[in-house]
Structure 1
Amino acid sequence: MAMASPPSPPSSGCPFLDADSLRRLLPLSALIPHLRSSLPSLSAAIHSPPRSAFPLPSSPSASLLLMPSWSSDPSLPYIGVKIVTSFPSNSTLHRLPGVHASYSLFHAATGVPLVALNGSQLTLLRTAAVSGVAASLLARHDARVLVMAGAGALAPFLIAAHRLVRPGIERVIIWNRSTDKARILANNLQEEEGGEDRGVTFECAESLDEVVAQGDVVSCATSSESPIVRGVKLKPGAHLDLVGSFSPSMRECDDEGVARGRVFVDFEVAMEEAGELVGAFERGVISRADVAGTLVELLDGTKVGRRSDDEVTVFKAVGTAVVDLLAAQLAYENSLQGTYFLRVGI
């Protein structure tokens, strides 16, 4: 539970939590249960206007995004804002990530700045944690095979989150448009695991079509604008986790994937922003009324999750400032208490 009156930052200035600090303060083993408990009780009190996006003159495709949020609950006395820059050409022109972010947390009663956080790392952690929470309610308990589509910065966090909530996973298959990138990630994760004798194998695949049918959990974190997962390939009982797309022009699975599955979203805004859903609504594949519920409704018991072993479930997340604020809260309060978890890393 949040503190009623968090102290002001040191007089020397507002502290900064870098990526390494956040990985120590926000391990998924702590962040997932924090979101499970706090989303049902606090999300209604968190005000989160739609993200604001501004084009930048420095590049035709560059943009500045602002994601503010604040709480009206005295047990969560915070204001937060994430500032994001998107420069898609960075990877080809400068060999830099295309997205950078910073997060600032303020005291809700005084407006005093409390802490600044690495927004990119915060986003990776909270995105993976949300998928982990959803999978804990929607994926089969006996899930053994995880298919990961995408080998970017988010992929290892998603793999860790799914393995945490479904510890029976014994095989992880990674696909990426660049097979070399998928192979490097698989090799790195296998080395971190301590080799194949530890019971979990990591491998790469050249064809996503060929391995989707094997996945008990299929997680996608790409920037694709055309479907990469075909619904006809999903096995009965599969859980499809879609976190890559965040605009109507982006799409990671086809209409059949949406139609076959029982669809849940992180928040209702996903029905306005997710290309998989917006397109399906426009084409009459499903209607908004066919969306089975939100993550908060799953957590508070208003909606029922998986109903049978053969049911295909789909979770579509676009991310909101609500979970940013809750993740920043936990990081800040753990830092005040000197809480550094023993396991360093994801």
Structure 2
Amino acid sequence: MYYQTVSVLETHFMKTISLFFFLLFALQHMFAQNYVDVAKVSYSSTQINYQGQSASSRMNAFDAMFLSPLQIAPSAHLLLGGDFNLRSLELNNNATDHTFYNAMLRLGVSKVFNPKWNGYIAALPKFASDYDSNFGSSLMLGGLAMLKRVRSENLTWKVGLYGSQEAYGFFGTPILGIFYRTPDEKLTIDASLPLWADANYALNNKKTTSVGLDFIAIRRSFFMGRDNADQRYVENNEISFTPYFQYAALESKLLLRLKAGYSATDFGLYSANDNKMTAISAININDDRTRLNQDIKGGLQVKIEATIRLGVKR
């Protein structure tokens, strides 16, 4: 069964601004390379399959983000932005469509310590639920910190920590990454694992067309229903591998991508009163929860994406 998507703005997750956690996914485009993505909008449709059934359905998704770095000192910027994501799907085959929203504020500071070292830290509070009379009770806090070592004009190493409060407990992960660009600037690799990675190769000298492959891993949760004894939540896990074709317009300030690949997508339904657990990257600790819906598996994903990218000085 196919269902419809609604619109509004995007993404992510949070617990406290504990020990260097979370800013990475939004702010890493600040000093790892000589550009910053100030806005991104995407729409995707993913086939989903239900365990034990031959029938399939679709998950429709809308994601948007914006980021505005404001200079507050010669070597420091205030990082202000926001994300919104929407996911619409059937939690069980031939059941009612459910739509979940994640609205997040990005607020942080980036600092260049010297020509070799720079970094940032940020708070990322979010409201994540189906927004059914539960917006105020769906607040979750989180944060991230990133430290970067510039080895050369074309190579930067990254290390960080990310953490967030979730409906099921706490999620955290260390982050290791790299930014590398070949001297001819045709091949670019930008990775912050285990969260995401992107490889892009220009097909012409003007770099107006290119092909690439990206990897995105998402782990978050949404409260569902009113804030009472019967409240439930869904744990959303997505791992996507999507080759893409990119066209760069307006002197490479506007990037248009058409993507098609595979996305492993799951939405587990649980009672909000069930046992809590801790998740470190892909590992669950003390997970004693009882799942209330059938397992969901992913399939082919098709996505269109537009990015506004501005150049910055190193």
Q: Normalised by the shorter chain, which TM-score bucket? A: 0.3 to 0.5
Q: TM-score, normalised by structure 1?
A: 0.32
Q: Which has the higher strand share?
A: 2
Q: Which has the higher helix share?
A: 1
Q: TM-score, normalised by structure 2?
A: 0.34
